[in-house]
């Protein structure tokens, strides 16, 4: 579908600053919000599919930050904040430069790391979250698997390892038909 295809992101990962050093961990500020690709995919209803993972399970980063971490487009990074941690794809931001800031479109992946604190103003703090980013070898989970792994509503809550080994729920609705 052309409505959810993303334009090719230029593969700019050059480590050209003479004084910069490769590092394992980067302290950044996280912003979340809507993005046209995430919006189109969500409202079409294609949330179970890989295309939603590609548009919402992604951290848009400044190319310089990516170079510091040594990641290229579609490499996996782990984002850790006070409220949780989640593995997402890294991609070169089209709004760069914004060194020290990453953007994850709103969606189940971003939700794991944003702050539920409303400060009595009803609205959670979705923007300006301090977090760290590091390279990761784990897979970015599909939406259904992510919801199961994070909220554990219908699985044994204490069996962390067992949840990891469960078969994937896939990209199509799973339910018992009459």
Partner 1 sequence: MANYEPPVTDYESIVENCTCAFCGCNCDDLDYLIKDGHVVGVRHACRLGASKIMEDMDQRLLVPMIRGEDGELAETDWDSALDKAAELIAGAVRPIFYGWSETSIETMHHGLELGELVGAVLDNQATICHGPSLQAVQNAGYPISTLGEVKNRADMCLYTGSNAMNSHPRHMARYSTFPRGYFRPRGRFDRTVVTLDPKYSDTAKMSDIWVGFEQNGDYEFYNAIRAVLKGKKLQKEFISGIPKEDVEELAEAMKNVQFGALFFGLGLTHTLSKQRNIDIAIQMVADLNSYTKWILMPMRGHFNVNGFNIFMAFETGFPYGVDFARGYQRYMNGETNTIDLLTRKECDVFMVIAADPGAHYPGGAVKHLAEIPVIQVDIHWGPSTEIADVVLPGSFVGVEVGGTSYRMDGVPIWMKKAIDKPETCRDDEWIIKEILERVKKIKAEQGALASK
Binding footprint of partner 1 on the chain (CB under 8 A): 2-5, 7, 29, 31, 33-36, 39-49, 83-84, 94-98, 101, 103, 106-108, 111-116, 118-128, 143-144, 147-148, 150-155, 172-178
Q: Which is nearer to partner 1, 119 or 137 (CB)?
A: 119
Smallest distance from partner 1 to CB 164, Å: 17
Closest separation between CB of residue 10 and partner 1, Å?
Answer: 15
- H helices of 46-159, in order, are 50-56, 63-69, 108-113, 143-151
36's CB contacts (< 8 A; 6+ apart) are none
- In the bound state with partner 1, the residue whose beta carbon lies nearer, of 9 and 150, is 150
Least separation in angstroms between residue 138's CB and partner 1 is 17
User: Could you tell me the two tokens for 170?
Assistant: 């896939």
What gap in Å lies between CA 53 and CA 65, rounded to an integer?
22
Q: List, in order, residues 6 or more apart from 95 with CB less than 8 Å away.
A: 60, 103
Residue 8, C-beta contacts closer than 8 angstroms, at least 6 positions apart:
none
- As measured in angstroms, the least distance from the Cβ of 156 to partner 1 is 10
Q: Which is nearer to partner 1, 13 or 83 (CB)?
A: 83
15 or 130: whose CB is closer to partner 1? Answer: 130
Instruction: Quote the least distance from Cβ 19 to partner 1, whole Å.
Output: 24
Could you tell me the two tokens for 16? 């050209």
- Minimum CB distance to partner 1 smaller for 70 or for 170: 170
Distance CA 56, CA 84 (A): 17
Rounded to whole angstroms, the Cα distance separating 112 from 158 reads 19
């Amino acid at each position: 579908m052309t409505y959810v295809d993303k334009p090719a992101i230029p593969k700019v990962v050059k480590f050209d600053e003479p004084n910069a050093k490769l590092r394992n961990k980067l302290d950044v500020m996280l912003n979340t919000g809507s993005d046209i690709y995430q919006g189109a995919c969500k409202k079409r209803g294609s949330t179970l599919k890989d295309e939603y993972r590609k548009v919402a399970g992604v951290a848009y980063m400044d190319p310089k930050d990516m170079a510091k971490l040594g990641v290229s487009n579609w490499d996996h990074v782990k984002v850790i904040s006070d409220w949780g941690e989640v593995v997402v794809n890294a991609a070169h931001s089209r709004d760069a430069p914004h060194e020290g800031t990453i953007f994850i479109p709103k969606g189940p992946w971003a939700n794991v790391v944003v702050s539920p604190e409303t400060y009595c103003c009803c609205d959670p703090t979705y923007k300006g979250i301090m977090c760290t980013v590091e390279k990761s070898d784990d897979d970015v989970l599909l939406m259904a698997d992510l919801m199961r792994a994070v909220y554990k509503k219908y699985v044994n809550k204490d069996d962390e390892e067992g949840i990891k080994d469960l078969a994937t729920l896939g990209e199509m609705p799973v339910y018992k038909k009459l």
